[in-house]
Structure 1
Amino acid sequence: MRIVLASQSPARLATLRSAGIEPEVIVSGVDEDLITSTDAGNLAAALAQLKCRAVAERLGDDDALVIGCDSVLALDGEILGKPDGPADASARWRRMRGRSGVLHTGHCVRRGGEEFLETASTIVHFAQVTDAEIDAYVATGEPLHVAGAFTIDGLGGAFVSGIEGDHHNVVGLSLPLLRLLVGDLGIAWTDLWRQTN
């Protein structure tokens, strides 16, 4: 079976690989500004679905399993995707430090005409980092390319003091949820281990 990840995220790819799944990566190229919502969970799901469908339509392979994901952070009701630049990332960290937000990741799986969509949510507690730490972190460029301007599996991991929920979800792809979704498609999770394209 052809397994396709509709995401350019190195972290999502690494998560799947560490779980024994070797997907092909095809970036959707969709304009994320086409989707708007005031609900972070709904926005993450809609973006994941848009990416998954775009790649599935491009493939035209009814046997392929396509996996689409997208993440957003909600902080005090505000939806935070990728920052607009270094100044935005620094300002976000100054607001987030010592506080908690909710990271929502939409997951969409599609095979043939069947599609399943769900969102996983994890509470993220941010450490009380200093201005100097924020400036140094933003200078690395890492927070400029990820939802919420942080990673848990990279340099930003030291600035996350705890989570409540699935840590894979904070990386960008919830393995427990994905297992359930592919099961809904009639695919055994263990059949995906070390499949090659």
Structure 2
Amino acid sequence: MTRLILASKSPSRAALLAGAGLDFALEPSDVDERAVEAPLLAAGADPGTLALHLAEAKALAVAARFPDALVLGCDQTLGLDGERFVKPESAADARRQLERLRGRRHTLHSALALAEGDSVVWRTVEVAGLTMRAFGDAFLDDYLARVGDAVRASVGCYQLEGLGITLFEVIDGDYFTILGLPLLPLLAELRRRGGLPS
């Protein structure tokens, strides 16, 4: 199969691919996400559409540098009652986001796109719904102190594979989708392309 490149600097996405036994290279994209989003937001695009366009833009940006490779672009958006969240820039931003999310259900849209040369050859958007507990301020203080800077690493201010799981009471959806890389549809596509044993 063509060489696989992950167009991401996410350690969790790289760990998921490595854990599944995939051989790949890392080449983060230099896409300006806010610039890609601006016209889409102005047109009223939903979170799934935003995630897909961003995943495609990242895959195509790296594929332009490595035209003989199969490039995987990824993106994830979080929506709550029509409001879109982005990764917090500070601990104070993270606190505000968690205060908005607690006691409520939000939706994660995780998009993947495979590009070869100047074309997107495969895409998917998977959805998960998560309901946070109505935790108190003392719990939130402790959580933020324990996770430290890692709270800014994800759009939801949590990692389910760590302390983030303690924030939740209900999770509906695929675990890999929540982590930002829907692995099962990706593996199915790679098998279809002959890159994995079937």
Fraction of identical pairs, as percent: 35
Distance of aligned partners of 1:75 and 1:114 in 2 relative to their CA distance in 1, 3 Å threshold = closer
Structure 1 range deviating more: 106-115 or 39-48: 106-115
Q: What is the aligned length?
A: 188
1:150 counterpart = 2:158: yes
1:168 lines up with 2:176 in the alignment: yes
Residue 45 (str. 1) matches residue 52 (str. 2): yes
Any idea what the Cα deviations from partners look like across 1:50-79, whole Å, max 9, x if unmatched?
Answer: 100001101132xx2211100111111111
Name the structure 1 match of 2:31: 30
TM-score, reference length from structure 1: 0.87
Shifted more, 160-169 versus 136-145: the winner is: 136-145
Give the conservation status (yes or no) of the 8 Å contact 1:109–1:181: no
| RMSD of aligned alpha carbons | 1.9
**Long gaps (5+) in structure 1:** 193-197
Query: Quick check: 2:130–2:168 contact (8 Å CA) kept in 1?
Result: yes
2:143 alignment partner AA: Y
Question: Given that residues 127 and 161 in structure 1 are in contact (C-alpha distance below 8 angstroms), is that contact kept between their aligned partners in structure 2?
Answer: yes
1:58 paired residue among 55, 65, 79: 65
Which residue is 1:107 aligned to?
A: 112
Does the CA contact (< 8 Å) of 1:72 and 1:104 recur in 2? Answer: yes
Query: Paired residue for 2:18?
Result: 17
Higher relative contact order (CA 8 A, sep 6+): 1
**Separation in structure 2 between the aligned mates of residue 72 and residue 9 of structure 1, nearest angstrom:** 15
Q: Alpha-carbon deviation of 1:180? A: 3.9
- Normalised by the length of structure 2, the TM-score is 0.86
Counterpart CA distance in 1 for 2:84 and 2:14 is: 24
* AA matched with 2:71: V
Q: 1:81 to 1:182 in 2, by over 3 A?
A: farther
Look up the equivalent residue of 2:49 and give its one-letter code.
Answer: N
